[in-house]
Chains A and B, each alone.
Chain A
Amino acid sequence: MNAERANRLEKLIFEYSVPGRGAEDQWPAPVESAAVEDLPEPLRRARPPLLPAVSELETVRHFTRLSQLNFSIDTNFYPLGSCTMKYNPKACNQYAMLPEFLARHPLAPDSAGQGVLECLFELQEMLKAVTGMQAVSLSPMAGAQGEFAGVAMIRAYHRARGDLERNEIIVPQAAHGTNPATATMCGCVVREVPVDAEGDVDIAALAAAVGPKTAGIMLTNPSTLGVFERRIEEVARIVHAAGGLLYYDGANLNAILGKVRPGDMGFDVIHVNLHKTFSTPHGGGGPGSGPVGVAARLAPFLPVPVVGRRGDRYCWLTERDLPQSIGRLSAFCGNVGVLLRAYIYMRMLGRDGMARVGEFATLNANYLLARLTRSGFDAAYPGRRASHEFIITLKRQARELGVSAMDFAKRLLDHGQHAPTTYFPLLVPECLLIEPTETESKAALDAFAAAMARILTEAAQEPEHVTSAPHTMPVRRLDDVRAAKQLDLTWKPAT
């Protein structure tokens, strides 16, 4: 977006600055000058920092206007496949913001934080119970770091056994998109395995790919194709027989919550995206959280710290207790504020509630798939029942009408619907990956299906209106190529 256009939407807060103006009531309390003088001279700033000089009301209006440009789960249906954009109950925020949680210093002694430690310990226990794993560490700061920790543990396990040749990670085409990057970051070589026409892992290709160099396989179940991997037990048998371990990407845990556990499918290690399944804030650069769970044989390698219990007291377990740990991934213990939100969510749901999440996530996806296919859309895997998400392919519409998946995605915005994930997985041409989640009502699903049907009619009658969408958003269609090539990152007005 060019600077002129952005200014028409909402200026930078610095551009409202008038020298001398301010919101003094909001300033922090003045620091005693004696305390300032304790700081070494070179660390003290000579000039005040460059802050916007704006009144309190101008600040409120600026940020309120910015927030009105958001297209979010709090305002619209958001079926972004693979991302599980479900509604996070406000109670999770409210209770995690209790002053007793907020004011605890991370370096306070264990004796002064038994309540927080108990919550974290119970969160570890609940994650173990729901994933079927034997031990959990909460310290990874995001899903990506959880993945990193998982593969790092697989490598540490093989190394500890003197099995030094195992450096290959098998990644089926239906695995989560981040998996090859994780394996590469951990120093492994990625071997891709195809899936068959029905979306299951090609067993013959897998059997041919495993061997003495196999460190493990990364997959998610249900897969990124929106279907349950039916031969998962066979996959586990083949990989284990070759000496490799199974890594479960928690991306699609929402579909099976309370119904079937990765540990029971034969997985050795899992990371859980708390922001997808357990109601913590999504993305935008964090704060995130990606706890890892492991089978017994990987437990010694868990990242530290983890919360332990001695008698009726809770304590941090560190490198002293887990000398084979892959180490620390964050200062202190991950993002405790985020972990508390997941804890509260899980306590509110309980075991039965979790099973209902899995059931309704799946029911909603299958209902929406049925409605869309009845309206003339093509399922990518027509013979298969959807998991919590499903793929439609617009290959036929692109060829016959010249209207692409991206055009549908953009036009949906005009109908008050957030676009589904587009062009992912790469395996399916002109695809939309649609995940309605369990928190949407039938009316919301019907409205989305109706919008899709209207766009399909429009694509046949007036295609240029679809290919030039959106028409009602604050910005029209962006020039993706120019945006990627000419980064326009402004943090203060040009002087």
Chain B
Amino acid sequence: MSKVPTDLKYTRTHEWLRTLPDGIVEVGITDHAQHALGDLVFVEVPEAGRTVSLGEPFAVVESVKAASDVYAPVSGEVIEGNPTLAGAPETLNSDPYGDGWLARLRLTGTPAPLLSAAEYEKLTAEEAD
């Protein structure tokens, strides 16, 4: 069973969000998503300074099975992309909610309605049927 930390918010497209104490939002993909993708061999994170809008592809994750876009769960300005993923994409497999974060953003709009951990867990359970 995939891990779904209760202190995070989620999207239907398998991204997670964490609001840091300074109001910056940290974004990544879920344990369920990394498990479905399989071993990652390449991760492209957005550059600092880039403006992304809600729903726009802002990162790319590529595994031995597939290459997938990651959609921005909020609109905002990229403060930094995770610099470790270029050299060590497997970090995203081993620690999707910690060292495997993709980007940190400063919000420029109100976030779209997000899912709670319980709601996200229900969604992935439905997908597994």
In the complex the two chains form, what is the Cα distance from A484 to B62 in whole Å? 10
Q: Which residue of B lies closest to A430 (CB)?
A: B36
Could you tell me if A481 and B68 are in contact, using CB atoms closer than 8 angstroms? Answer: no
21 contacts between A and B (CB under 8 A): A395-B128, A399-B128, A422-B65, A423-B65, A423-B66, A424-B66, A426-B66, A426-B68, A429-B36, A429-B127, A480-B39, A480-B41, A480-B64, A481-B39, A481-B41, A481-B64, A481-B90, A484-B41, A484-B42, A484-B64, A485-B41
> Which residues of B, 9-57, contact A by the 8 Å Cβ criterion?
36, 39, 41-42
- A422 contacts which chain B residues (CB < 8 A)? 65
Q: Which residue of A lies closest to B90 (CB)?
A: A481
Q: Which residue of A lies closest to B93 (CB)?
A: A481
- B127 contacts which chain A residues (CB < 8 A)? 429
**What 0/1 pattern do residues 62 to 93 of B give for CB contact below 8 A with A?**
00111010000000000000000000001000
Most B CB contacts (10 A, CB to CB) among A395, A429, A481 go to: A481
Footprint of B on A, CB under 8 Å?
Answer: 395, 399, 422-424, 426, 429, 480-481, 484-485
Closest Cβ of chain B: how far from A289's Cβ, in Å?
26
Closest Cβ of chain B: how far from A468's Cβ, in Å?
17
In the complex the two chains form, what is the Cα distance from A91 to B70 in whole Å? 48
Q: How large is the interface on B (under 10, 10 to 19, 20 to 34, 35 or more residues)?
A: 10 to 19
- A423 contacts which chain B residues (CB < 8 A)? 65-66
4 interchain residue pairs of minimum CB distance: A480-B64, A484-B41, A481-B39, A423-B65
Footprint of A on B, CB under 8 Å?
Answer: 36, 39, 41-42, 64-66, 68, 90, 127-128
Q: A423-B66, A481-B64, A484-B64 are in contact. List 18 more A-B contacts (CB 8 A).
A: A395-B128, A399-B128, A422-B65, A423-B65, A424-B66, A426-B66, A426-B68, A429-B36, A429-B127, A480-B39, A480-B41, A480-B64, A481-B39, A481-B41, A481-B90, A484-B41, A484-B42, A485-B41
- SS of B interface (majority): mixed
- A395 contacts which chain B residues (CB < 8 A)? 128
- A399 contacts which chain B residues (CB < 8 A)? 128
- A424 contacts which chain B residues (CB < 8 A)? 66
In the complex the two chains form, what is the Cα distance from A346 to B90 in whole Å? 49
In the complex the two chains form, what is the Cα distance from A481 to B90 in whole Å? 10
- A429 contacts which chain B residues (CB < 8 A)? 36, 127
Q: Which residue of A lies closest to B36 (CB)?
A: A429
Closest Cβ of chain A: how far from B57's Cβ, in Å?
9
- B128 contacts which chain A residues (CB < 8 A)? 395, 399
In the complex the two chains form, what is the Cα distance from A424 to B63 in whole Å? 13
Closest Cβ of chain A: how far from B62's Cβ, in Å?
8
- A484 contacts which chain B residues (CB < 8 A)? 41-42, 64
- B68 contacts which chain A residues (CB < 8 A)? 426
In the complex the two chains form, what is the Cα distance from A481 to B66 in whole Å? 12
In the complex the two chains form, what is the Cα distance from A481 to B127 in whole Å? 26
In the complex the two chains form, what is the Cα distance from A423 to B62 in whole Å? 13
Closest Cβ of chain A: how far from B77's Cβ, in Å?
21
In the complex the two chains form, what is the Cα distance from A480 to B42 in whole Å? 13
- B90 contacts which chain A residues (CB < 8 A)? 481
In the complex the two chains form, what is the Cα distance from A484 to B90 in whole Å? 12
- A485 contacts which chain B residues (CB < 8 A)? 41
In the complex the two chains form, what is the Cα distance from A480 to B62 in whole Å? 12
Closest Cβ of chain B: how far from A206's Cβ, in Å?
17
- B64 contacts which chain A residues (CB < 8 A)? 480-481, 484
Closest Cβ of chain B: how far from A327's Cβ, in Å?
30
Most A CB contacts (10 A, CB to CB) among B41, B68, B128 go to: B41
In the complex the two chains form, what is the Cα distance from A480 to B63 in whole Å? 9
Most A CB contacts (10 A, CB to CB) among B36, B64, B68, B90 go to: B64
In the complex the two chains form, what is the Cα distance from A484 to B39 in whole Å? 11
Q: Which residue of B lies closest to A405 (CB)?
A: B65
In the complex the two chains form, what is the Cα distance from A424 to B64 in whole Å? 12
- B41 contacts which chain A residues (CB < 8 A)? 480-481, 484-485
Closest Cβ of chain A: how far from B90's Cβ, in Å?
8
- B39 contacts which chain A residues (CB < 8 A)? 480-481
Most A CB contacts (10 A, CB to CB) among B42, B65, B127 go to: B65
In the complex the two chains form, what is the Cα distance from A487 to B96 in whole Å? 26
In the complex the two chains form, what is the Cα distance from A484 to B127 in whole Å? 29
Q: Which residue of B lies closest to A192 (CB)?
A: B69
Q: Which residue of B lies closest to A180 (CB)?
A: B69
In the complex the two chains form, what is the Cα distance from A426 to B65 in whole Å? 9
In the complex the two chains form, what is the Cα distance from A318 to B42 in whole Å? 43
- A481 contacts which chain B residues (CB < 8 A)? 39, 41, 64, 90
In the complex the two chains form, what is the Cα distance from A485 to B40 in whole Å? 10
In the complex the two chains form, what is the Cα distance from A399 to B68 in whole Å? 23
Closest Cβ of chain A: how far from B114's Cβ, in Å?
20
Q: Which residue of B lies closest to A483 (CB)?
A: B64
Closest Cβ of chain A: how far from B2's Cβ, in Å?
13
Closest Cβ of chain B: how far from A7's Cβ, in Å?
25
